[in-house]
């Protein structure tokens, strides 16, 4: 699954997610990617989120919307909210990760797998990483 979240110079956020699904999937299985609120969500009042991982768990936790709700209603930071919701996913038995940007300019990620293909960019430069210890 691939995805992107962005904050533009006008202060607006957006999220996009795209996937091939799950190897060997049957019965027209649909994961979290096209489920607005699970794998993808954007709200200028909170953040933009794109997720990757075991989709059924992300749907149950309502991951993308839950992260935004924590930021908007609880005052969490982006990293704090993402880590908390990914801990819920882990507790349910799911693995994966999320990327998050907030209108305040926080750009972060959280994942509970050994690695995640990921990258960040801003006016200061670009960073790409794969492994968990990078």
Q: Which residues are catalytic?
A: 1
* Residue with smaller CB distance to another protein, 33 or 76: 33
Min CB(86)–another protein separation in Å: 10
Rule CB under 8 A: which of 25-64 touch another protein? 25-26, 28, 30-31, 33-36, 39-44, 47-48, 50, 52-54
CB nearer another protein, residue 47 or residue 76: 47
Q: What are phi and psi of 94, to 5 degrees?
A: -100, 155
Residues 6 or more apart whose CB falls under 8 angstroms from that of 32 comprise 38, 39, 51, 53, 55, 56, 58, 59, 63
Looking only at residues 89 through 118 of this chain, which bind another protein when binding is defined by CB under 8 A? Answer: 95-101, 103, 105-109, 111, 113-118
Minimal distance, residue 62 CB to another protein, in Å: 14
| Token pair listed for 98 | 């999320």
Side-chain-side CA neighbours of residue 74 (13 Å): 13
């Amino acid at each position: 699954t691939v995805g992107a979240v962005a904050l533009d110079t006008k202060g607006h956020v957006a999220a996009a997610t795209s996937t091939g699904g799950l190897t060997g999937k049957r019965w027209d299985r649909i994961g979290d990617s096209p489920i607005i609120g699970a794998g993808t969500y954007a709200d200028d009042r909170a953040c933009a989120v794109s997720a990757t991982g075991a989709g059924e768990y992300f749907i149950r936790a309502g991951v993308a919307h839950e992260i935004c709700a924590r930021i908007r209603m609880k005052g969490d930071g982006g990293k704090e909210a993402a880590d908390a919701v990914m801990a819920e996913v882990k507790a349910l038995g799911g693995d994966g990760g999320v990327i998050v940007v907030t209108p305040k300019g926080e750009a972060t990620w959280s994942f509970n797998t050994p690695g995640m293909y990921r990258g960040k960019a801003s006016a200061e430069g670009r960073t790409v990483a794969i492994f968990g210890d990078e």
